[in-house]
């Protein structure tokens, strides 16, 4: 699963790197084997490629794997030990809690001056300065200051000798020449520790930028337990990658003009990480759908038909594979293109053409088949039966016939259409009725009206 917040971070990094003529580095931090599987890594790579970030661009490097640099991580820890900036510790959590009186308080520095040497089970801790503060220069958040006295002597290598994320991340950044780190604000609390490690290793820290958290409509941080957060899920539902990119770029940043719908190339040139708002960004699914609808309507007809194909031919399509008629779909595709907001909606607009019978929507049936509906259907059936298949069975002629039926029944055309639409398509909303009848054809239209009358007047 590739979180939409991670996708936004990647896009911002991508924009900064490409605009500056730099490099975007994809690093897989895979030192925790339980949280890393090959299929998850493949998912990250494919999700990035879907939003235009992949090895086909010279600005892309990777993926690199953190686990392959384990020896360098270990050597960096030993370098800090030799310089007096780290020490071994054999304290257990229980011992620390007993000394401090609380399991919530940080490490108390008990082993700082004990001069312990390495033994299995002893962790390596970084010696945090006793005085002063660590100031993080952040392009979005200014210069937050962290008193060193409030930063515990944190672990940089576990008792089994393996390095923890903090030092592994710093060493990898150093080795890969990272100059800018753009990431979510949840990492801000780690930043003073990482900055101290950079400085202790004799290096200049990178430029930091911590992006605002993304929240749902209740202003709660997006959570996979509660919200739809995977980029893959949105793409699978029929959100176009271009629309996702456009929308994600605007989560916390704007181009400073009224026009929000823009191709990525324009957004990249306008983007400046210093203009990102530090306040939380609302992930508005309705707005995303509106964006997607705009992108769908902008597709040329052939591209729209191609984009719909996975839903029309997929094994989960609501009709048998042999029932789908590509040429028939292409006749109504322009009508559907103006109405859908996500591609997965396409089946509900055209299923009446490829199913033997219209869908059975009880609520829609009850809404449309009110007293008088049978009379409208009988009149419509008789009028339509008088038309021959072929040139007479066209939307314009069908409209004229049904207008006459509505006048005969003392109704506006919209009211008279309702029972006919439900009888023929099974739904209360859909493509324009007259074009739908033309596409369905005379024989099937009359047969479906007959079936509806039989249900109304058994």
Instruction: List the catalytic residues.
Output: 224
- Burial class of residue 33 (count of CB atoms within 10 Å of its CB; 0-12, 13-18, 19+): exposed
* Cβ–Cβ < 8 Å for 367, 428: yes
What CA–CA distance (Å, rounded) separates 101 from 106?
11
What CA–CA distance (Å, rounded) separates 440 from 27?
54
What CA–CA distance (Å, rounded) separates 39 from 62?
17
Residues 6+ apart with CB under 8 A from 445: 384, 424, 437
Q: Minimal CA–CA distance to 283: which of 262, 252, 259? A: 252
Q: Minimal CA–CA distance to 183: which of 163, 203, 165? A: 165
- Burial class of residue 139 (count of CB atoms within 10 Å of its CB; 0-12, 13-18, 19+): middle
């Amino acid at each position: 699963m590739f979180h939409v917040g991670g996708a936004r971070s990647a896009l911002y990094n991508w924009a900064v790197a490409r605009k500056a003529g730099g490099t975007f580095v994809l690093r897989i931090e895979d030192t925790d084997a339980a949280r890393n599987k090959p299929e998850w890594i493949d998912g990250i790579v494919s999700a990035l490629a879907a939003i235009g970030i992949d090895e086909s661009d010279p600005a892309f490097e990777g993926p690199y794997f953190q686990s392959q640099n384990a020896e360098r991580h270990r050597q960096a820890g030993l370098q800090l030990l030799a310089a007096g900036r780290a020490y071994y510790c054999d304290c257990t959590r229980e011992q620390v809690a007993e000394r401090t009186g609380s399991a919530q308080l940080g490490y108390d520095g008990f082993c700082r001056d004990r001069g312990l040497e390495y033994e299995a089970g002893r962790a390596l801790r970084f010696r945090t300065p006793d005085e002063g503060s660590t100031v993080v220069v952040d392009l979005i958040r200014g210069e937050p200051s962290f008193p060193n006295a409030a930063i515990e002597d944190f672990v940089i290598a576990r008792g089994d000798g393996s390095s923890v994320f903090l030092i592994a991340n710093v060493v990898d950044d150093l080795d890969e020449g990272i100059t800018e780190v753009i990431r979510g604000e949840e990492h801000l609390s780690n930043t003073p520790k990482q900055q101290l490690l950079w400085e202790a290793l004799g290096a200049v820290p990178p430029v930091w930028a911590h992006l605002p958290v993304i929240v749902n409509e209740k202003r709660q941080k997006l959570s996979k337990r509660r919200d739809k957060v995977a980029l893959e899920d949105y793409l699978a539902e029929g959100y176009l990658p271009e629309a996702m990119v456009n929308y994600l770029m605007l989560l916390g940043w704007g181009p400073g003009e009224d026009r929000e719908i823009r191709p990525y190339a324009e957004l990249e040139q306008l983007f400046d990480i210093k203009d990102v708002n530090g306040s939380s960004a609302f992930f508005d699914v309705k707005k995303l759908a509106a964006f997607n609808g705009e992108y769908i309507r902008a597709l040329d007809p052939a591209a729209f038909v191609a984009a719909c194909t996975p839903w029309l031919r997929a094994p989960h399509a609501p009709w048998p594979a042999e029932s789908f008629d590509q040429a028939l779909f292409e006749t109504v595709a322009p009508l559907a293109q103006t109405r859908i907001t996500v591609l997965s909606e396409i089946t509900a607009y055209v299923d009446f053409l490829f199913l033997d019978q219209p869908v059975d929507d009880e609520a829609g049936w009850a809404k449309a088949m009110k007293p008088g509906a049978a009379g409208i259907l009988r009149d419509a059936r008789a009028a339509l039966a008088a038309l021959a298949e072929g040139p007479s069975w066209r939307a314009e002629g069908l409209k004229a016939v049904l207008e006459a039926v509505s006048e005969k029944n003392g109704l506006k055309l919209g009211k008279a259409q309702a029972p006919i639409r439900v009888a023929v398509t099974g739904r209360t909303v859909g493509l324009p009725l007259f074009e739908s009848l033309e596409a369905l054809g005379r024989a099937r239209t009359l047969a479906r009206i007959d079936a509806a009358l039989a249900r109304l007047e058994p």
